[in-house]
Chains A and B, each alone.
Chain A
Amino acid sequence: MEKQQTPFGFHKLIFILLILLSVSMSALGRDILSDIIELKIESHIASGGNFDSVTVELPNLTGKTLAKVIEYCKKHEESSEKTGELSEKWDGEFIGGVEVGMLMDLFLAGYELKIKGLNDLAASRIGGMMLGKTPEEIRVIFDIKEDPLCKKSKSPKEGERFARDNPWAFQ
């Protein structure tokens, strides 16, 4: 994640965004970029920020992820305009249809772009995927390598002891 402070100005902002989003730029349309910028500026103003400067924080996202984020935001904007309520069914299908890596990316994007709905949706889906999984399977989801140094340290031993003493938690 990178941080840039810049005088409020669209061209300069876009320029910085272009630098930050050096990944998969070709996959992104200009409208998606401006959506993101608008989103950032709106939230900046909504939270009482002034017009002299805008802090732009952007996660290191792929174009594919950004496209998904925009899809989510657009849908929610539309449905809140039309019916005033968001479709849980749409949310479920949206988040249910992505694979683990993308899910994790969407979660982080929601977190870093402060899109609470997306963040919660992805977190709850990740939580749901973790239910009933063995520690080994969870390590795969999170791409956690077992640290060989851990074997010498206190915690995993405690963890192992806990597992031995509390088999019910692992059933």
Chain B
Amino acid sequence: MASGNLPEDVVTEILLMLPVKSLLRCKSICKSWYTLITKPSFTTAQLNCSAALQRNYCILLKRFLQESNKSVMSFLSDEISSDDHFLPTEITIPHSNEFLQMLGPCNGIVCLTDHRDIFLCNPSIRDFKVLPAPSFNYPQGLFSRTMGVGFGFDSHSRDYKVIRIAELHEDDEDWGYKFHSVNVEIYNLTTNSWREIDAIVPCVWFFPCSELLFNGHFHWWADDEDHGGESMLSFHISTEVFQQIRLPDVCAFPDGNERAFLVFNEAIALLLFNPSEQTCFDVWLMTEYGIADSWAKQFTIGPLIQVERPVFFCKHELLMEKANGQLVSYSLKTQRLKELQLYGAQKSLRAVAYSESLVWIK
């Protein structure tokens, strides 16, 4: 049977089986394939197909390489610790410094920021976009400092949003500067511009893994002035409404502990730990999303020697970072640590669950 002129939906079905890299290659096969692959409907079908089949699912790891002075991203199999001789491809992140947050992903796009520059990136097609700097006319004498950045996809308006929580400061003779207020600014990808929204939000603070997209909300670690403790500030990407979720009462900053928010068993986990020679990690879980009373301590990991911070929960393992920047995998089943041959600068390792996509950042 001649296959040269297969009907389009038949070709679509075959192409949907392919990873993104092969699809990009297939664009140069012939005109009809090029047209098909570049159609928005194909991009959507590819997304839905990956989500439905949980195919092309992997871990996207970001780290800073000191020797070559650049940040790189790599795709890792979610069976990472069973693969001994795995050398991932390194995708260089342009104009990046050591302390990049990696937020998201949404439809294959992640937001990268050092809290000064912000950019969006789809690593599966190596598409990068630097966001314009917010340019607001703050009142005379005030200057802004980024305290938190968030990122998400609004499924109603079908738009990507970046949220910047900025503290406005004024010059102060004695202290250099003085806190004035908190400003919330939102970037929309479709308009490629920033706007301010009226919102009263607490001060947000920052640890390497304290910014998290989950359940259509973005989360930051924040003050809880009403209760005199700490909270998780959540922002609904579509409705743009903020909410505060109290953290367990054991959190009393400064208690010497770092906080990390990770996803575990499809819920938000809070890890409390004090990086040292032998670190213990208390794992709390918010079993019902948004309900502060549902925080429950699950277990303690460790003490682990020279393992300083958690990076990512993957199936029955917790990826962690050693003091020397090495990635290790801790098995929740056997309580054993396995060293992986992946290194990055200290505190520079971040990971998210990732599915490839063909979505171009316009």
**Residues of A near any B CB (own CB < 8 A):** 60-62, 101, 104-105, 107-108, 111, 119, 123-124, 126-128, 130-131, 135, 138-139, 141-147, 150, 153, 155-156, 158-160, 162-163, 166, 168-170
Which residues from B are CB-within-8-Å of A162?
A: 24, 27-28
In B32-47, the 8 Å CB interface with A consists of 34-35
Inter-chain CA distance A42–B1, complex, in Å, is: 27
Known A155-B35, A163-B28; contact A168-B1, beta-carbon cutoff 8 A: no
| Contact present for A144 and B18 (CB under 8 Å) | no
CB contact between B18 and one of A61, A105, A127, A135 (< 8 Å): that residue? A127
CB contact between A105 and one of B1, B15, B16 (< 8 Å): that residue? B1
| Contact present for B21 and A144 (CB under 8 Å) | no
Inter-chain CA distance A156–B26, complex, in Å, is: 11
| Contact present for A156 and B28 (CB under 8 Å) | yes
In this complex, the interface size class of chain B, counting residues with CB under 8 Å from chain A, is: 20 to 34
Inter-chain CA distance A128–B17, complex, in Å, is: 8
* Interface residue? B228 (CB, 8 A): no
| Contact present for B126 and A166 (CB under 8 Å) | yes
| Contact present for B3 and A139 (CB under 8 Å) | no
Which residues from A are CB-within-8-Å of B1?
A: 60-62, 101, 104-105, 108
* Interface residue? B31 (CB, 8 A): yes
| Contact present for B30 and A147 (CB under 8 Å) | yes
In the complex, which of the residues A145, A147, A169, A170 has the most CB atoms of chain B within 10 Å of its own CB atom?
A169
With A62-B1, A108-B6 already in contact, 8 other A-B pairs whose C-beta atoms are closer than 8 Å: A124-B17, A131-B22, A135-B25, A138-B29, A143-B2, A162-B28, A163-B28, A168-B126
Q: Tell me what chain B mostly uses at the interface: helix, strand, loop, or mixed.
A: loop
State how many angstroms separate the Cβ of A5 from the closest Cβ of chain B.
21
Known A60-B1, A105-B1; contact A144-B29, beta-carbon cutoff 8 A: yes
| Contact present for A142 and B3 (CB under 8 Å) | yes
Inter-chain CA distance A111–B8, complex, in Å, is: 12
In B230-257, the 8 Å CB interface with A consists of none
CB contact between A130 and one of B2, B18, B24 (< 8 Å): that residue? B18
Closest 6 CB pairs of A and B: A127-B17, A159-B28, A155-B34, A169-B24, A143-B4, A155-B31
Residue of A nearest to B21 (CB): A169
* Interface residue? B197 (CB, 8 A): no
State how many angstroms separate the Cβ of B9 from the closest Cβ of chain A.
8
State how many angstroms separate the Cβ of B360 from the closest Cβ of chain A.
12
Inter-chain CA distance A128–B24, complex, in Å, is: 16
* Interface residue? B13 (CB, 8 A): yes
CB contact between B17 and one of A104, A126, A170 (< 8 Å): that residue? A126
| Contact present for A142 and B10 (CB under 8 Å) | no
CB contact between B34 and one of A105, A131, A146, A156 (< 8 Å): that residue? A156
